[in-house]
Structure 1
Amino acid sequence: MTDISTMKNRAFPVPTYEEWKQEVEKSLKGKPIEKLYSMTYEQLQLKPIYTRHDLQSLSIEQYPGFSGYVRGTEPDGYVQKPWAVSQELSASSPQEWNEIAKHDIARGQTEIHFVLDRLGFSVTTLEDVETMFSGIPLERYSLRVDAGASSLPFLALFTAYLQKEQLPVDALRGTVGMDPLALLVQNGELPASLENLYDVMADVTKWAREHMPNVRTIIVHGEPYHHGGANAVQELAFAFATAVEYMNESLQRGLSVDEAATRISFSFAIGANFFMEIAKLRAARLIWANIIEAFGGSEEAKKLNVHARTSYFTKTVYDPYVNMLRATGEAFAAVVGGADSLHVSPFDEAIQPADEFSRRIARNTQLILREEAHMGKVIDPAGGSYYVETLTAQVAEQAWQLFQQIDAKGGMAKALEEGFVQAEVEKVAKQREHHVKTRKEKIVGTNFYANVAETSVKRTNGIARTSSEQSLDEERIAELKAGFSEKKWLETALYAAANRATAQEIMEAMKGNDSSIAVQSIRQWRLAAPFEQLRQAAEVCLEKTGRRPTVALINLGTIPNHKARADFITGFFEAGGFAVVKNDGSMSTEEAVAGALALGESHYVVCGTDESYVDAVPTIAAELKKAAPHVKLYVAGKQEPHVEETFVQAGVDGFIHIGSNCYETLVTVMNEMGVALDE
């Protein structure tokens, strides 16, 4: 009996690359295969096929859990320890947050996660902390607290709470971290000098070594760069340049390499380019291992801890349920890439604070990946893919080169002061923005397949932050400053917190007399924002005048002759919230002109075949402009230069085609109509 391998080889002969290439070029009708190559925002050329040959020059280890850790830091992946379901929680008060946290951890959340600056209220007093964590069994869940520029005020209040409740401080696990450079990138300034913040970082880390051995104290965010438009290479390079700066500052303040490295948690945004995001997380582990090896750190210190959050940058205000699909794809990439914890964006993130429904959908997205898609049962599913392994190596190499450029400039803070980082991000951001505006980058429901019948969306700017400002006790601030001057940061703050000092008083005392750094911030935006501005302007127009900005089609001939271009123009204008008046086509120029004049609109677009345009367009333009000189007439489709010149002389105002800048064209038309864009 023929064995399986023999039968397989007979049934499925392995084609050579040259055979495959010949077949492809045959289907391309003789065009070279290079026509299928594409370039990413990282300036990496993607090929249509990858083979074993592509891996021959790559030195990537073959097994998960082995040094280098490209395939994960654990030999068994998620089999024994799944990723943490770490949904960020916010509320309008400590009591509401407590109720939400209890509700969500009872329904599958495995890590308690919040960002102080996005909570919706200030964690000011010991009573606030007591209310937040009342009845929550902290020993059963890991904790992830993003404390912004400084973790000192919160950590002092939180530790005072644990001590008051006689809860074991050393049993706590997770992250209570600070990232001053991330806040600097977003705001352009800091609440205290970098010197003081680095002192706090080192002091908190030393204290945690003794009292909270399972808690990380430093967070390095890649999100401010991603949400500014950066590519994957830039996000990695800037994050690791930040981490190295924190390492160096910690070493100067008496920490060892291992003590600093094992206290760092990285946080990356996961965007829409599925394979690029997988490669990014895999490359991140390789880069970190190389950095720690250069520092002389241990094998344990080389293991990257990474939190992932699906991208805010890719989410839309309009057609928001599509965000569920976007977040699912991004979450899938994060899991395949090997994230240790994950936050999935609620679908209404760009519109309003998450409610119970949107939180549930986001949380269940993770649970379905884990429980129903069985993502935790396969160890590094991307491992061995010729494409992913090649992309991983390329991303790592490019990120390392950019990281070295920043290092040569004296580190991340100096690169930010110089404006180098901001300029690099803005270059890519402008490319992305141009591609969105020209619709080369498609956003479903926004610049493509827009639904103008969608109910108007009123966007809010997050939870209205409740104020709990209290008068500052100047005597207590003076006492804090005295302790801080001796570099006893946490010891002083903890004593003060136990004696009812507030977070504001601790932060005020931290400021000191040193001048704080100031840089140009990186704008945080979303890809859909330009078209959302147009949609909102159209809706304001509807509210004020009773109708949307409107264009009318002048369709020539039967439906098959004009449908393709009529559909294109309809989608083109609906992306800006316009109403489009359609018809089944005119059989003569007289009928076309009469029909247009009967509508009484200010803007028209002729749709038909190039052949029908030759005689019809000049006549329609001349007659229409003669009867209504104020109207604007556009033609759908790009024409030969001499034809366009003839049409323009006849009265045509412009041409709209696949190469047009959709956003700029719509802005022009709105301006012609007197529709305000800035209301």
Structure 2
Amino acid sequence: MADLSTMKNVSFPIPSYEEWKEEVEKSLKGKPIEKLHSMTYEQLQLKPIYTSQDLQSLELEQYPGFPSYVRGTEPNEYIGKPWAVSQELFASSPKEWNEIVKHDLARGQTEIHLVLDRLGFSVTSLEDVETMFSGIPLERYSIRVDAGVCSLPFVALFVAYLQKQSLSLHHVRGTIGMDPLSALAVNGELSISLSTLYDVMADATKWAKEQMPHIKTIIVHGEPYHNGGANAVQELAFSFAAAVEYINECLTRGLTVDEVAERMSFSFAIGADFFMEIAKLRAARAMWSNIVQAFGGNESSQKISLHARTSYFTKTVYDPYVNMLRASAEAFAAIVGGANSLHVSPFDEAIRPADEFSRRIARNTQLILLEEAHIGKVIDPAGGSYYVETLTAQIAEQAWKLFQQIEATGGMTKALQAGVVQAEIEKIAKLREQNVKTRKERIIGTNVYANLAEPKPDIQSVSSPKDESCGGETMERNGNWVDSAIAFVHRRATARGIDAALAMTGSSVAISPIRQWRLSEPFEQLRQAAERHLETHGKRPTVHLINLGAIAHHKARADFMTGFFEAGGFAVMKNDGYMSTDEAIKGALEGDGTHYIICGTDESYPEAVPAIAKALKGANPPRNVYVAGKQPPETETAFVEAGVDGFIHIGSNCYETLVAFMKEMGVALDGAES
């Protein structure tokens, strides 16, 4: 037994990179280590391991709180101030919204967050705002209002409410922001001219500087690009291109760069690629610091305000409880990446408006990260990671190049008008969609491991009803847009009059909108088609497996086929395995199906497949016959000559195969009855 002094002098051996590489190549059986490299949607090549050598060319920041703020904008980060638990809240009426806000603030939410376009009701009058905020101590909580195209109507109503309640405007903190380019990208058009919207943006920013100094007035969203399928590089580049346009427009209207930059907030979606999303937020801080510095802004203005929301793009309608796991991983990435505030999407976001249970689970996800996982007790936990630091630098470099390309086209609006942004995003979107359809990108509970026993989801949309009413007084602008609107509201006028005054300035540009979608939609559409078929015909579209031999001989391929077809909502009829070709033919013909897949070993196929195929093709009516597994070309040729219709294997396009089967079975894919 070794004595204590001997153990004290023993150290762990440190292998060299070459020794590690040699061991890896042994496990690869002679294949080069490059086999372990992979390419991301950002066209960044990932290595299986990173070392200190990867950081030699990088200038790493040692401490947070100093330009370029990669490690954080404050020296003590979450230790000094935890991130804001900023769950987006919506309801069917102002009174219900007020009750929900009070309920959730008492249970851990720390910021009041509303998105006007998804609020569930229209905020049109001072009475609406009075009901919404009645009994809520605004001096204790920050507020985040995503006003969409234009913030003026809400700002006027909210300020009039504060003044009526004799609440100090200086005590209100947070964001009441507008983002017209985001709305343009999603909707394809604006009802108000961009010039007028930039006038409002500049006026609101000037007014807030003097009257509400702790309120930010501009939000720059990355979500429209992310939800269109954009990669991390594109999301950053397009967001910062929009931000620069806002700065330039405000500068021409008399503001300084510091006055504008300090009142901007950025909102990014956090997707499924854990380390990529961490690096994206770290790169965003560096990029914004460089941009503001180029405008001559001070260090305070170079500190970005980052809001994050877990991705809508990655959420699914089917097996929705898995969304809790997705959101947890995404929230973890957002916090490790250093977000200042966070919205965790409720697990039923893609299905219906959140209820008390789904709101509680989403909110508690954040509280667990804060109170139980203690993430906030370590500053920039990803800092110094060879992988994360390298990825951060690569994302920043590539995003900067793309950002400069957008600037070279004349800015974000011109790039949207020319379709440059849409084309760039659609290239990545199509690649993502193809990978989902071929199941290279797996979505648990949707294109793999589907659960056909789950209840059919009752899908409900979440939106704010448009106020289509007309009549009433139209606001007249006298000087500053904000002062005019506040005075207008104090006369008990409504937001409709403000909207009418803005609309009189003329319509804006029109573009091709960026398609907003979710990754799981292609397979969800197939599942819904199968469910409609079940309702109208009494059964799901069905495939029959012809399993050959003992379980060990067919199970792997039978399980693969089951998962393959259940992803489209098909029923899969199985058997325990036929011990002879005659038995297989007899069992198949008794099955009364239309589509059969033979599952067995490659060794069993040459004898069984031609005989089964000829028998099923000769039946009345003839059956469709497929073989599980890819075969050598000469074997496939022989099987096709015997009557086999095709081969299904890991390289097959799952989505296209399922669509073809549905069409052959008469399943209506467009919602119409077949």
Shorter-chain TM range is over 0.9
Is 1:572 paired with 2:559? no
Task: Calculate the TM-score normalised by the size of structure 1.
Answer: 0.97
Contact 1:121 1:468 in 2 (8 A): no
Report the CA distance shift for 1:86/1:4 in structure 2 as closer, same or farther (over 3 A): farther
Residue type of the alignment partner of 1:251: L
TM-superposed CA distance for 1:469, in Å, is 4.8
TM-superposed CA distance for 1:643, in Å, is 1.1
TM-superposed CA distance for 1:232, in Å, is 0.2
State the alpha-carbon separation in 1 of the partners of residues 165 and 374 from structure 2: 39
Contact 1:308 1:334 in 2 (8 A): yes
Q: Secondary structure at the match of 2:269?
A: strand
- Residue in 2 that maps onto 1:338: 338
Q: How does 1:231-630 map to 2 (within 5 A)?
A: 231-462=231-462, 465-466=464-465, 469-473=468-472, 476-477=473-474, 480-483=475-478, 486=479, 488-630=480-622
Residue type of the alignment partner of 1:352: R
State the alpha-carbon separation in 2 of the partners of residues 454 and 253 from structure 1: 57
Report the CA distance shift for 1:254/1:318 in structure 2 as closer, same or farther (over 3 A): same
Could you list the per-position Cα deviations for residues 644-669 of structure 1 after superposition, in whole angstroms to 9, with x for gaps in the alignment?
11111111111100000000000000
- Residue in 2 that maps onto 1:13: 13
TM-superposed CA distance for 1:461, in Å, is 1.3
State the alpha-carbon separation in 2 of the partners of residues 401 and 9 from structure 1: 51
Report the CA distance shift for 1:409/1:599 in structure 2 as closer, same or farther (over 3 A): same
Report the CA distance shift for 1:6/1:163 in structure 2 as closer, same or farther (over 3 A): farther
State the alpha-carbon separation in 2 of the partners of residues 318 and 9 from structure 1: 57
State the alpha-carbon separation in 1 of the partners of residues 180 and 89 from structure 2: 22
Contact 2:526 2:568 in 1 (8 A): yes
Residue type of the alignment partner of 1:678: D
Residue type of the alignment partner of 1:609: T
State the alpha-carbon separation in 2 of the partners of residues 554 and 22 from structure 1: 45
TM-superposed CA distance for 1:471, in Å, is 3.4
Contact 2:190 2:507 in 1 (8 A): no
Q: Secondary structure at the match of 1:210?
A: helix
Report the CA distance shift for 1:210/1:9 in structure 2 as closer, same or farther (over 3 A): farther
Is 1:655 paired with 2:655? no
Residue type of the alignment partner of 1:85: V
Q: Secondary structure at the match of 1:302?
A: coil
- Residue in 2 that maps onto 1:59: 59
Could you list the per-position Cα deviations for residues 309-360 of structure 1 after superposition, in whole angstroms to 9, with x for gaps in the alignment?
0000000000000000000000000000000000000000000000000000
Residue type of the alignment partner of 2:99: E
Report the CA distance shift for 1:466/1:181 in structure 2 as closer, same or farther (over 3 A): closer
Report the CA distance shift for 1:469/1:126 in structure 2 as closer, same or farther (over 3 A): farther
State the alpha-carbon separation in 2 of the partners of residues 468 and 521 from structure 1: 23
RMSD of Structure 2 on Structure 1 (CA):
1.5
TM-superposed CA distance for 1:467, in Å, is 6.2
TM-superposed CA distance for 1:71, in Å, is 0.3
Residue type of the alignment partner of 2:49: I
Aligned residues between the structures: 670
Contact 1:481 1:510 in 2 (8 A): no
State the alpha-carbon separation in 2 of the partners of residues 236 and 602 from structure 1: 50
Is 1:34 paired with 2:34? yes
Contact 2:616 2:622 in 1 (8 A): no
Report the CA distance shift for 1:9/1:405 in structure 2 as closer, same or farther (over 3 A): farther
Could you list the per-position Cα deviations for residues 379-406 of structure 1 after superposition, in whole angstroms to 9, with x for gaps in the alignment?
1000000000000000000000000000
Residue type of the alignment partner of 2:611: T
TM-superposed CA distance for 1:8, in Å, is 7.9
- Residue in 2 that maps onto 1:645: 637
- Report the identity percentage: 72
State the alpha-carbon separation in 2 of the partners of residues 15 and 551 from structure 1: 54
- Residue in 2 that maps onto 1:156: 156
Report the CA distance shift for 1:329/1:3 in structure 2 as closer, same or farther (over 3 A): farther
Could you list the per-position Cα deviations for residues 394-437 of structure 1 after superposition, in whole angstroms to 9, with x for gaps in the alignment?
00000000000000000000000000000000000000000000
Contact 1:85 1:342 in 2 (8 A): yes
Residue type of the alignment partner of 2:568: G
State the alpha-carbon separation in 2 of the partners of residues 291 and 468 from structure 1: 39
Q: Secondary structure at the match of 1:78?
A: helix
What residue ranges of structure 1 are gaps of 5+ in the alignment? none
What residue ranges of structure 2 are gaps of 5+ in the alignment? none
State the alpha-carbon separation in 2 of the partners of residues 572 and 79 from structure 1: 48
State the alpha-carbon separation in 2 of the partners of residues 24 and 261 from structure 1: 49
Deviates more, 1:635-644 or 1:260-269: 635-644
Q: Secondary structure at the match of 1:272?
A: coil
Contact 2:306 2:340 in 1 (8 A): yes
State the alpha-carbon separation in 2 of the partners of residues 249 and 310 from structure 1: 31
State the alpha-carbon separation in 2 of the partners of residues 402 and 16 from structure 1: 38
Q: Secondary structure at the match of 2:139?
A: helix
Q: Secondary structure at the match of 2:604?
A: helix
Residue type of the alignment partner of 1:631: R
Residue type of the alignment partner of 1:613: Y
Contact 1:193 1:514 in 2 (8 A): yes
State the alpha-carbon separation in 2 of the partners of residues 284 and 357 from structure 1: 34
State the alpha-carbon separation in 2 of the partners of residues 610 and 459 from structure 1: 44
State the alpha-carbon separation in 1 of the partners of residues 5 and 245 from structure 2: 54
Residue type of the alignment partner of 1:611: E
Report the CA distance shift for 1:53/1:203 in structure 2 as closer, same or farther (over 3 A): same
Deviates more, 1:656-665 or 1:499-508: 499-508
Report the CA distance shift for 1:435/1:307 in structure 2 as closer, same or farther (over 3 A): same
TM-superposed CA distance for 1:513, in Å, is 4.0
Residue type of the alignment partner of 1:620: I
Residue type of the alignment partner of 1:528: S
Q: How does 1:218-233 map to 2 (within 5 A)?
A: 218-233=218-233
State the alpha-carbon separation in 1 of the partners of residues 122 and 588 from structure 2: 60
State the alpha-carbon separation in 1 of the partners of residues 14 and 388 from structure 2: 21
State the alpha-carbon separation in 1 of the partners of residues 5 and 644 from structure 2: 68
TM-superposed CA distance for 1:628, in Å, is 3.2
Report the CA distance shift for 1:282/1:678 in structure 2 as closer, same or farther (over 3 A): same
Residue type of the alignment partner of 1:543: E
Contact 1:94 1:132 in 2 (8 A): yes
Contact 1:92 1:466 in 2 (8 A): no
TM-superposed CA distance for 1:37, in Å, is 0.2
Could you list the per-position Cα deviations for residues 518-565 of structure 1 after superposition, in whole angstroms to 9, with x for gaps in the alignment?
110001100000000011111111111111110000011111111100
Report the CA distance shift for 1:595/1:365 in structure 2 as closer, same or farther (over 3 A): same
TM-superposed CA distance for 1:4, in Å, is 11
Q: Secondary structure at the match of 1:139?
A: coil
Residue type of the alignment partner of 1:445: G
Contact 2:202 2:253 in 1 (8 A): yes
- Residue in 2 that maps onto 1:197: 197
TM-superposed CA distance for 1:14, in Å, is 1.1
- Residue in 1 that maps onto 2:167: 167
TM-superposed CA distance for 1:581, in Å, is 0.4
- Residue in 2 that maps onto 1:81: 81
Q: Secondary structure at the match of 2:80?
A: coil
Deviates more, 1:365-374 or 1:10-19: 10-19
State the alpha-carbon separation in 2 of the partners of residues 583 and 81 from structure 1: 61
Report the CA distance shift for 1:661/1:7 in structure 2 as closer, same or farther (over 3 A): same
Q: Secondary structure at the match of 2:217?
A: strand
TM-superposed CA distance for 1:491, in Å, is 1.2
TM-superposed CA distance for 1:571, in Å, is 0.3
Q: Secondary structure at the match of 1:552?
A: strand
